[in-house]
Structure formats: structure tokens, C-alpha cells
Amino acid sequence: MSQIALPLEPRNGAANRIVVGNANRRIVEAFAVAEDWPYRTAILHGPPRSGKSLLARWFVESGAGDALDDADTLADDEVFHRWNRGQETGRPLLLVCGARDGRWEVGLPDLASRLGAALRLEIGTPDEAMLADLIGVHAEMRGLVLDPSATQYLVPRCERSHVGVETLVAAIDRLSLERKHPATLAILREALAQTRGT
């Protein structure tokens, strides 16, 4: 497991780190060879809160190319203009699609045909190793101290998703603050019970 730090303010350190694991390793590897993408264009999609925008920011900050976040919500002609500009300049273009399944209704035929040839990059489901790292990062962002035994307890019991981890750690933090007590086993159990199915 590894993490990528965005070159931003240190005070926001944890919030600017990308956990690299099974769910997104292929994407990070694809960023390294963006010049080889079909028409130097890729479409990134995945579940809510899975780091799509953060990955896009890192792609731009690393100098690998340009990115257009929430591209599927923009007018077709705006996206087509950006695609054309990328072809003219030779800079790779990463298009972030908010739809979980990557489905993007494009009305402009010329744009649809070009996007149809783009590389598709999908963020998958985190495995246990990645879940442990995600729990650690979210806890650090909140200033919440979780010892390794707490993480070991949570990983096999929490929802296997980025948003599930974020919601769970928020619940643990809230319960700890309400009770003015570190994250005990009782708090972990209650947080798990509260967040199941949310």
C-alpha cells in the first residue's frame, strides 16, 4: 500500500493524500503513460467519494496533463472544445465522470464517437489492506486516534467502500466527542451499528 501526496499546504496533509491500493492502482499506473492513451484521452469514473477529483488534481499537479472534473455535467460543446484543444496541444486530457457506472449521455455525435475511443478508468472496491489505510487517513484528517487493534477490528466489519469508511470514521469521531472518551470497543461497535446500510 502507498500514498501520493498532493503538493499543497502541509496543514491539509491528510486531506491531500491519495491512498493507492487495489481499487485505483491501475489508474495511477495509467497516469504515468498518459501519452499512450487513445487520442491522449481517458475517462475516469467510480463510486461516490472514491477520490476521483483528488486523482484528477494530482494528475494536473504532476504535470501529466489536463483534467476536466464533472465533465458529464458540462455542455457537450464545452467538452468537445477541450478535447480539440488537447489534440492541438498534444496534452493528455482526463475527463472525470460523476456517474458511478461511467455512463455518459452525449448528444453531440462527433463528441460521442471520440469519447467512445477514450481509455476507461474505473475505481473499484477497496480490499482489506486499502480499507485499513483509508480508515487511517480519515482518522488523521479528524485528529482521531485509532490504535492498530481498532483498525483490525473495523476492517472486516465495515462497508467495503470509500464512502462507507468515511461515514464510519465520522461516526466514531462524533461518538468519541459526545462521550469525551477515546474510541473504545463499545464506541466502535455502536458506530458500526449506526452506519450499516447508510
pLDDT grade, residue 9 (50/70/90)?
very low
Q: Each residue of 57-101: pLDDT tens digit?
A: 999 999 999 999 999 999 999 999 999 999 999 999 999 998 777
- Tell me the pTM: 0.86
The answer to whether 82 and 67 are in contact (CB under 8 A) is no
The residue type of 24 is: N
DSSP 32: T
Q: For the segment 177-188, what is each residue's pLDDT rounded down to a tens digit?
A: 999 989 999 999
> What confidence tier does 8 reach under pLDDT thresholds 50, 70, 90?
very low
The domains located in the chain, with CATH, are 24-122 (3.40.50.300), 128-195 (1.10.8)
Q: Which cell numbers in the block locate residue 55?
A: 486523482
Closest of 155, 153, 160, 139 to residue 185, by C-alpha: 153
Q: CA dist 167 to 47, 117, 134, 154, Å?
A: 14, 36, 12, 13
CA-closest candidate to residue 52, choices 7, 11, 105, 100: 100
